[in-house]
Amino acid sequence: MHKDMTPHAGPPARARRGPDVTTQIFIGLLLGIVVGYFWPSFGVAIKPLADAFLRMIKMIIAPLLFATLVLGIAGTGDLKAMGRIGLKAIVYFEAATTIALFLGLALVNAFHPGSGLTMPIADTSAAAAMAQNQQHAWDIFLHLFPTSVIDAMARGDILQLVVFSLFFGIAVAAIGKKGQPVLDVLDGTAHAMFTFTGYVMAFAPVGVFAAIAATVGGRGLAILLMLGKLVVLMYVGLAIFVLIVLGGVSYLIRVPFLTFVKAIREPFLIAFTTASSEAALPKALEVMERFGVPKNIVGFVLPTGYSFNLDGTTLYLSLASVFVAQLAGIEMTLGQQLVMMLTLMLTSKGVAGVPRAALVVLTATLTQFGLPLEGAAILLGIDQVMDMGRTAVNVMGNCIATAVVARWEGVFDDARMRKFSIEKAA
């Protein structure tokens, strides 16, 4: 997953450990394929190791989401200070991520990359969870509001937890300085959970190894073809989003798209090659300021976008969640998928700094809808390949967001943009 930054810094050790864990996960993937193919009965027998890893992931979801979401809402004091700029940025972020979600949803329903191979569903509550999401629209609306947040956490009802966190974060922000001790506690909790997540991710190679071995052992090598189809589909989706959506936005704000692409070439390539938005942030800040966006807008919109405007990641999450449903042989109605998209839209906010954040958000969503968590472990095995593309698109989307807000405010400097493009061409 992209290793983005939030307004509340994540664990500093994450950047140093990432490549090693990624290599180990890839090795675990390859070994799992070999073991599942040549010793299928053994591969199926070690599935409890994958289940243990997935249980650990579920264990961290509730406290991690609560702490990071409340901090993301109450801790953005800049939104008040910046006034109109903050509001306009959030409006654009929501519009862009919603388009990305629905683009992913359209692609996965059009091409069905997960159809044809049925995974066993380990979660016996799956039928109940799916039935819950077949209720009347008013029932779904009422279900958003928990009678007890502790009960929601215990049941893994992520949507209720998100709603509680939203209200709690707004309330903490409203009481001003009196809420600072609460923020301090939650900031410490978030940092502890970042470290806790790092410990859990140390088991990821074993979890991926066991999940792949059990799947290949029980279902054969067909799963690899499906994973390949998902990777190709995601990159097609990212290309469509960049060319049509971001290209269209560029046209609307009167910024030549090719000029913009050339300007952000360096941060884009840094993000793609390192799969880290953090690594690309300093260069992105520098480039967009030189491109004609005022410093105060760049300094606010880019870091905020790293938490609230993850276009590539949201597109991936909509693809991945329905892909797992297709693997499980579960037919989801359009209404159920829309509720799932709402869940993804809410749970993905504020957790950008979490190591392997896509896995945390995807696991939370699969739990909410009773879908097999084995799908998340299998996808983790190819996460690095997909992470490169979605992280680069995250950075591109946030760069153009700064230009959108600057143009909306009427402060975009066209002369600086032309000067910068000439310097780049020279």
First and final CA of the chain: distance in angstroms?
Answer: 36
DSSP code of 354?
A: S
Look at residue 3 and tell me whether its pLDDT is greater than 60.
no
Look at residue 113 and tell me whether its pLDDT is greater than 70.
yes
For 201-245, write each residue's pLDDT tens digit: 888 889 889 888 887 887 777 778 888 899 999 999 999 999 999
Confidence band of 288 (pLDDT split at 50, 70, 90)? very high
Look at residue 398 and tell me whether its pLDDT is greater than 50.
yes
Cα Rg, the chain, nearest whole Å: 21
d(CA 145, CA 418): 51
Is 14 buried (19+), middle (13-18) or exposed (0-12) by CB count in 10 A? Answer: buried
pLDDT reported for residue 1: 39
- Mean residue pLDDT of the chain comes to 81
Average pLDDT, stretch 310-318? 90
Confidence band of 126 (pLDDT split at 50, 70, 90)? very low
pLDDT reported for residue 20: 65
Confidence band of 353 (pLDDT split at 50, 70, 90)? low
Look at residue 146 and tell me whether its pLDDT is greater than 60.
yes
CA 212-345-226 angle, to 5 degrees, is 25
Helix segments in 328-356, DSSP class H: 334-347
For 162-201, write each residue's pLDDT tens digit: 788 888 888 888 888 888 899 999 989 888 887 888 788 8
Residue 262, number of CB atoms within 10 A of its CB: 14
pLDDT reported for residue 99: 94
Residue with the larger pLDDT of the pair 7 and 400? 400
Cβ(357)–Cβ(4) below 8 Å: yes
0.85 surpassed by pTM? no
The structure tokens listed for 68 are: 């990071």
Look at residue 11 and tell me whether its pLDDT is greater than 80.
no
Confidence band of 122 (pLDDT split at 50, 70, 90)? very low
Look at residue 18 and tell me whether its pLDDT is greater than 70.
no
